[in-house]
C-alpha cells in the first residue's frame, strides 16, 4: 500500500529549531490531547529513526511545509530544498511564504517552486507577526499568481492557526476557493473544530482539498470527516499524520481502521495528494 503523508515535519535542519522539536515535553503535552505518545524519533530528534518509522508504517512520501512564523519558529525553504535533494523520493516540499509582503512572497514562489524543486506554496497567515485571515485582500495577488500557474496552495485552515477560533472559521477559506475557482487549495488541519461547516464548504467548492491530519485521531468530529470522505470528498480527502504529534504507525493504523469505503482508501492515502502534487498516480 502506497501512502503519502500530507503533513509530516521531520527532525531535520530548521524544524529542530522551531517549536515542534525545541521542547520535547511541550510536544508530548500536545500529543496527549490525542491520547498519543510521541515516537522515539521525536524524543531523540533523530532523522534515521524517522526513516525507519516511515518504512515500518508504509509511508512512502512525506509532505513538508515551510513556515514563516516568529512565534512558532521559521522553517526556511532553502532547508526544504536541501532535504528534498538529500532524501530523494522520501519527501516533497511546500514553500512557506510570508503573506504580509506579497511581492517578496511571489518572488520566493518563483525561486523555489517554478525554478526550484518544491511542489507548491503554503501560508499560515494567522500565525504571522501581524495575523491575517486567509481571505485578507493583501493575500489575493499571491493566490492569483499561483492560480495562473497551477501551483497548489496549502493553507493552515484549522487548529491553532491564529489568535482565536475565528481564524479557523471556514468562511474565510471558503471565500478564497470561491474567488479563485481554478486554484487547488489544500486545507491543512481541515478547519477543525468547524467540521460540519467546512464539509458544506467542500461540497460547494470543488477546488478545496481537506487534510484534517492530527484531528482525525481520537477527536470528536472525526466520524463526520469519514462520512464526507465516503461521499462527495472521496477525490479530495487527504491522509495526514500531523507528525511529530502523532506517531506514523498509529496514524496509519487508526486511519485505515476507520469505516472508510475500502475501495477509496488508495485515493485517500495516495492518489488524491499525488494529483495535487502532479505526481504519477498509477
Domain segments of the chain: what residues? Answer: 3-277
C-alpha span between 264 and 231 (Å, rounded): 10
What is each CA distance from 189 to 52, 113, 264, in whole angstroms? 25, 23, 21
Q: Which residues are within 8 A (CB) of 28 and not within 5 positions of it... i.e. 6 or more apart?
A: 37, 38
Quote the CA–CA distance of 85 and 24 in Å, as a whole number.
27
Distance from C-alpha of 49 to C-alpha of 31, rounded to nearest angstrom: 19
Q: From the CA atom positions of the chain, what is the Rg in Å?
A: 17
pLDDT in the model for residue 282: 66
CA–CA distance from 58 to each of 140, 236, 272 (Å)?
Answer: 38, 21, 17
Closest Cα partner for 61 from 87, 34, 27, 35?
A: 87
Cell readout for 194 is 468547524
- State how far Cα 39 lies from the chain centre: 20
In the CATH hierarchy, which fold is given to the domain comprising 3-277? TIM Barrel (3.20.20)
pLDDT tens for the 282 residues of the chain, in order: 799 999 999 999 999 999 899 988 899 999 999 999 999 999 999 999 999 999 999 999 999 999 987 777 899 999 999 999 999 899 999 999 999 999 999 999 999 999 999 999 999 999 988 999 999 999 999 999 999 999 999 999 999 899 999 999 999 999 999 999 999 999 999 999 999 999 999 999 999 999 999 999 999 999 999 999 999 999 999 999 999 999 999 999 999 999 999 999 999 999 999 999 999 876
Cα–Cα distance for residue pair 130/70, rounded to 1 Å: 10
> Strands 59-65 and 3-5: what pairing?
parallel
What pLDDT is stored for residue 280 in this prediction?
A: 84
CB atoms within 10 A of CB 166: 11
| pLDDT, position 1 | 74
Q: Residue 94 region, left (φ>0) first, then alpha (ψ -120 to 50), else beta? A: beta
Cut 0.95: pTM above it: yes
Identify the CA nearest to 214 among candidates 266, 270, 158.
158
Helix pair 195-204, 222-230: axis angle to 10 deg: 20
Amino acid at each position: 500500500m502506497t501512502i503519502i503523508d500530507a503533513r509530516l515535519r521531520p527532525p531535520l535542519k530548521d524544524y529542530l529549531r522551531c517549536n515542534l522539536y525545541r521542547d520535547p515535553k511541550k510536544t508530548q503535552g500536545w500529543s496527549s490531547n490525542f491520547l498519543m505518545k510521541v515516537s522515539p524519533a521525536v524524543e531523540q530528534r533523530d532523522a534515521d529513526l524517522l526513516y525507519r518509522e516511515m518504512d515500518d508504517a508504509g509511508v512512502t512520501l512525506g509532505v513538508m511545509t515551510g513556515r514563516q512564523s516568529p512565534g512558532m519558529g521559521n522553517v526556511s525553504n532553502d532547508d526544504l530544498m536541501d532535504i528534498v535533494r538529500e532524501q530523494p523520493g522520501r519527501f516533497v516540499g511546500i514553500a512557506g511564504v510570508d503573506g504580509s509582503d506579497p511581492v517578496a512572497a511571489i518572488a520566493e514562489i518563483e525561486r523555489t517552486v517554478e525554478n526550484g524543486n518544491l511542489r507548491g506554496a503554503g501560508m499560515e497567515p494567522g500565525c504571522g507577526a501581524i495575523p491575517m485571515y486567509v481571505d485578507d485582500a493583501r493575500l489575493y495577488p499571491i493566490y492569483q499568481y499561483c492560480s495562473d500557474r497551477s501551483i497548489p496552495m496549502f493553507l493552515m485552515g484549522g487548529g491553532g492557526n491564529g489568535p482565536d477560533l475565528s481564524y479557523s472559521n471556514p468562511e474565510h477559506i471558503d471565500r478564497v476557493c470561491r474567488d479563485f475557482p481554478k486554484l487547488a487549495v489544500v486545507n491543512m488541519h481541515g478547519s477543525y473544530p468547524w467540521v460540519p461547516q467546512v464539509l458544506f464548504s467542500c461540497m460547494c467548492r470543488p477546488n478545496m482539498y481537506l487534510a484534517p491530519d492530527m484531528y482525525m485521531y481520537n477527536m470528536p468530529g472525526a466520524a463526520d470527516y469519514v462520512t464526507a470522505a465516503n461521499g462527495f470528498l472521496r477525490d479530495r480527502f487527504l491522509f495526514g499524520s500531523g507528525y511529530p504529534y502523532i506517531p506514523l504507525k498509529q496514524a496509519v493504523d487508526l486511519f485505515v481502521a476507520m469505516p472508510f469505503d475500502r475501495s477509496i482508501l488508495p485515493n485517500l492515502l495516495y492518489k488524491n495528494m499525488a494529483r495535487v502534487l502532479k505526481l504519477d498516480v498509477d
